[in-house]
Each structure stands twice: as C-alpha cells, then as structure tokens.
A and B are shown apart, each in its own frame.
Chain A
C-alpha cells in the first residue's frame, strides 16, 4: 500500500484552482466515465466548446451558478506511488476561513496565481496563513502561463517575488517550489510541456509524488489526550479499565512512566490494547487503549504525558487566533476553548496585536479582531490545562474557540506565536492581568 499525502490548494477567485484540481483528477484517470459524461453534458448545455473541468469539483448549485467554489471540497486520487487527500479551498475573500480549515491538516499546499497578475494580496495572505498553521511545504503553481505566451521572464519574476515572501515567513528555499502550469491546456500538471523548454523542474504531479512527507514526529515527547474510559464490566473483563485515545505525539511502550495532567498523578503503562491484540509500542497517529498500573482517577479531558518532559499546566494562555466569525472579537469576551479532548470556559483578557500579512509585521493593538484577521490574544481559562506550543506540536498546541450560546466555531487557536514575525511586533502579551475584567455585554454569553 502506498503512503498518503494530505494537501490543500489555495488561490484567488478565477485563478483556475478548480480547473487545476479537475485537471489533476482527469489526467491521473481518477475521473470515471459517468462523471465525465455528466461534465461533458453540462458543458455542452452551457454552450462550451470543451469540457469545463472545474465542474468535476464545484459541487453545490450556487457554485455552478456563480462559477466559483464556496466550500472546501475533499478529493481523492491515487497513483501507483501515492494516495492523495486533497482539500480544495475557496479563494473568495469571505471564505478565507476555509483555507485555514484545509491547511490545518495539510502536509503540503499548492498556491495558485494567475501568471498575468502575479503575486497579489490574496497570495500573500494565504501564504501567511499556511505558514502560521505550520504547513511544511509550499508549491506555487503559476497558472495560465499560456496566456503570457509561456514567457520565462514573467515566470521568473513571479517565482522570485514569491520565494522572498515565503522565506520571510520562515520557509527554507527547499520547502518551496514554483511550477509554470496551464490547468486549462494541461502544461506541466501531469505531463511535461513542450511549451516551456526553459523549465527543467518537475511537473506538479511528479513533485506531489516525490516530495518527502514529513512523518509524525516520533521523537517528540509522548502526548495522549484521553477520549473515553473503557470499562466493559462483563464477567470476562470485570476489572478492565482502559483509557482510549489517539497518540498525539511521540511513542509509548509498556513500562513507560507517565504523568496524568492536570492532576499530576504518576503511573506506569502496563498494556497497550487494541481490538487486534496488544501492541509492543504505539506511535503518533494510532488509536489505542492504555492500561495503567495504578487505579487513579482519569477521565475524558485528561492528558497522559511522558514523565519528565511534560507540557506546562496553566490557566493563562498566550495564543494566536485566526478569527473565522462574522461577529468581531473584543476584550472581555467569554468563550469556550476546546483543547484536545477538554472544553473549558475562557475569558479573552487582552487583544495584544494584529498581524498585517501584507507588511509582514504586527500593525497595532486592535480594539477588535474581525473576520479573517489574525492576532495575538491573552486568555484566562476557568481551570488549568496542559498546553504545548503550536510550534512544538500541531495536535496538542491547537484549540478551537467556540461560541457557548450557539456552539459555532469562532476561531482557530494556536498556543504561542508560531510565526517568528509576530514576535517582532509590539511587546508580548502580558497574560491575563488583574485589569482583565469580564465584560458581560460581550458577544458570547457564559456556557451552561
């Protein structure tokens, strides 16, 4: 079985992203006959001379009507070398939050630009979001290269400008690749194009097939958020008490000494159980059940960590938020924070700065954080929670900000300041100080 690459695409409206994704599916023969027939029929109905490959991915009625992508679409294709899960994220500005969604699990992102327009505001914004969320690798697909007569100079200028931007965001040069493509004509998507003899690099698909996939960090300290306590209470398993979860980071073996947070109680792993039998070792990404030597009180929301290299347990939190809601965030807002398997009440005690992804700097101390804005905040939590920095672990350094009244997801939260640039801004958050009084007129009401 081949391995799996999770990737996201991002770009502005009309950059041809859906067409590019359609082209990848079409040229890898991932489009089956009936689907293709439907696209041919629908294209002909609209009076188009050639099949519109974007119809392969634009699924919703309003998308087809407007000819734009509204929501993240997940696509699956495979080559003999690899399986791919592709999150196709919309470029329309009010849907930028979907880029955050697609990027949160991606190991690589393909950014599209129109060769006639080059790097624009949306490109810089998307690249900043991808960098912030820790997507390890970027591809810049310079699309519609046919419309600039396959001009090398145009491509080089765009590639150079993008590399400079990505480098400023913390990417090393080997993590970023630029490729001249035409999604419509198929140049350099799957097959090498005769129209760009000056380009010696890989086609998009060659690159996706061969780029190293960053493995889950096995050498990281062990982290295990407890999802559920398994107690069969059957005659056969009378005293069985197992802690079910997915290994978030590192590895674990029977005999390992662990500490349960936030209580701080210590114990030893006696057994790693699964429905297929016991394991000698479990690693990041695996769903398992841990049994411990001591009968201590552990429930959903607790975190089992390797002893000696534990996350900090704190009720004050400095974080970076990508604000995804229409209603703005203001100081004093009461929200819920979902971190790992634990949901706690929280108060936003301070808005520390706002990040301008155009100038690559923090611009000001905002009075509010609006839709699609990224900023640093201080939060006070109702109870202490074990927290890692996002730059240490995407799984244990991330959290959701949730509206307690209607349950909607308000923000993507990252513990600390994952973008180095953010640290060069105004002075750091002071954390929940005494002046942080909850505002009862804030947007979110207290939870039940």
Chain B
C-alpha cells in the first residue's frame, strides 16, 4: 500500500471531509439528488463518508416533470437500495396551483429555483449539498465550497467568505442556508475516472444508445412530454448519449458510439466541447446566464 494519495484519492478524501464537516455542524442537511451523474457520485461519496452507518441526510429532487424514464427508475432504485429518504418537489405542482407559470419556450430548468427555495424553507434545510463543479462554467469557478445564501436563497459573489485552508465556516443566521459543493475541485474527466475506478452504476442514457432525436440550435433533442420536433425539424434515429441529464426540453444528446465507461472516458478526454456548452441550452441565454441564475438562487 502506498501512502501517497493520487489525484482521485485526494479528491475523494476532500469530499468525505466536507460531508463530515456538514454532518458535524448543521442540524438539517439535505443532498440534492436527481439520479444524474454528479448527484449519483455525490451520494456514493456520502455513503463512504459515514460507513458503516447510514447516510444521516435525506435526499431532495426538484422534479421538472421533463424527465427521462430511465433516470427516474434509476433514482428510485438507488433510494430503495440504500434505504434513503427522498423528498420530491414537483415543478408541476407549483404550476398547477399558480405559484409558477410555464415559460413560452416550455423550458422548465429555470423554474426549479422557486420549488427549491420553497422546499428549503418548508423543511428548514440549513445545508444543501449540490454536485456543482468549478470546471463547469466561469461563474461557478468563483463559487466557494461552502456558499452562503440569503433568506431569499440569493448568492452575492461580493459577500462570499474567504475560504481558508480546509477550515469551512458554515455559520449562518436563521433563515439563511449554506450550499455545499463537495465536488468543487473535480473535473469532468476526474468524475468519469472515479466512476470507472469505483464501478458506480449510472442511468443507461449516459452510454450510447439509439434514440429518435431532432436537431434544434445545434443540439440533438429527444421528444417527450415537453414536445417534439417543430416544422422544419425532422425526427431521426441516431446513436447518441447524454453528457448531462436535466430538463428534457433543453438537455441535448451528443452523437456517440461510447457504449461503456472506457469508451466514454476516451471520448471525454478527446472532446472539444465542454459538458455544459454541448448540451445545455439554458446556459446559452446570455454571456452571464449562469451567474444570473445563481444570484436568483439556482444551483
């Protein structure tokens, strides 16, 4: 056995340390869990952090209703296997009772913010784990591992606390909460290497499969409850996979033959597009799209 940790060992150790700090200092933490790659990794690390005891936090899924069936099935299976508690906040419920309005473009990713903040208030969650990584996007690159949010869930980049050594300051006033990002220092490639090393199961849609898709704004979108091809767009059968999983109306697939983890790693290593740029329409809204959504309380 070697005592020197490699890069993945260091990242794992850091994430476990962060989970344990939160367990020690907060009363009501929760893990955001969608069944996607990053939140599955997050849960895997949480399980390791408290082994052999169960994870001392519930899970929360803010459900856009624009889901891939495979991901929801996977989500429920993982929750059952580990005996976890899952809260689901459905965007549809907020639309049905008038607290939210459907957007003209039909995209629901931006609508997640209100159900998220309402759930945090309702359950009095004081620490909310997210799978955000700093390599995803420029505004995220400035995010702290412990990120203080106001009672309105807002992120003020100029009021962020200096984060020194590995001493995390989680103090907050009543009504405020802290977003915690244990994967801050991971890159997309680190995530895939770790998934390979640990043999972590993911929903099938991360690997190449055949699917009916249509091209919109340079992205391959699938049809679903959120709609289908418009005039001038043609549905066609393609071999694709997803690099991120979110609202089906704005999460694009990429053409890929990478049917297993080794092929995915080779593809990611050679890729010329970032994960978000390739597959997330909502980040293209403006030059500061992510910053604006973060300020409002989005992850």
Contacts and interface: CB of A to CB of B under 8 A. Distances in A.
B167 interface: yes
Given A4-B10, A32-B272, A59-B291, A76 B162 contact: no
Given A42-B287, A74-B134, A76-B135, A32 B48 contact: no
Contacts of A72: 142
B20 A57 contact: no
A347 B187 CA distance: 42
Interface in A1-40: 1-4, 32-35, 38
B166 interface: yes
Contact of A76 (B3, B12, B134, B277): B134
A236 B52 contact: yes
B16 A101 contact: no
Contacts of B171: 336, 402, 407
Contacts of B7: 1-4, 83
B131 to A, nearest CB: 16
A101 B134 CA distance: 16
A80 to B, nearest CB: 12
B164 A101 contact: yes
Contacts, number: 182
B47 A408 contact: no
Contact of A105 (B8, B139, B166, B277): B166
A237 B17 CA distance: 22
B24 A228 contact: yes
Interface string B140-159: 11100000100000000110
Contacts of B234: none
B28 interface: no
Interface residues of A, number: 78
A75 B184 CA distance: 11
Interface string B7-28: 1111011101100110110000
B20 A227 contact: yes
A395 interface: yes
Contacts of B8: 1
A98 B162 contact: yes
B6 interface: yes
A101 B167 contact: no
A304 B171 CA distance: 25
A154 interface: no
Nearest to A324: B162
Given A1-B8, A100-B162, A287-B17, A57 B169 contact: no
B230 interface: no
Give the residue among A3, A236, A244, A245 with the most B Cβ atoms within 10 A.
A244
A287 B5 CA distance: 11
B227 to A, nearest CB: 25
A335 B287 CA distance: 41
B169 A409 contact: yes
Contact of A338 (B12, B52, B54, B167): B167
Given A105-B166, A398-B164, 15 more contacts: A4-B7, A59-B142, A60-B138, A60-B291, A64-B287, A70-B157, A73-B142, A75-B141, A237-B52, A275-B47, A286-B13, A395-B165, A395-B166, A409-B161, A409-B164
Report the 9 A-B pairs with minimum CB-CB distance, sorted nearest first.
A407-B171, A59-B138, A34-B277, A275-B51, A275-B48, A287-B16, A232-B53, A33-B272, A227-B20
26 contacts: A1-B6, A1-B8, A4-B10, A38-B277, A42-B287, A56-B138, A57-B138, A60-B142, A73-B141, A74-B185, A78-B189, A101-B162, A101-B163, A105-B166, A228-B23, A231-B53, A232-B52, A236-B52, A240-B53, A244-B20, A274-B51, A285-B13, A287-B13, A398-B164, A407-B148, A409-B162
Interface of A: 1-4, 32-35, 38, 42, 56-61, 64, 70-76, 78, 83, 85, 97-98, 100-101, 104-105, 215, 218, 227-228, 230-234, 236-237, 240, 244-246, 251, 273-276, 279-281, 283, 285-287, 289, 300, 324, 336, 338, 340-341, 394-395, 398-400, 402, 406-409, 412
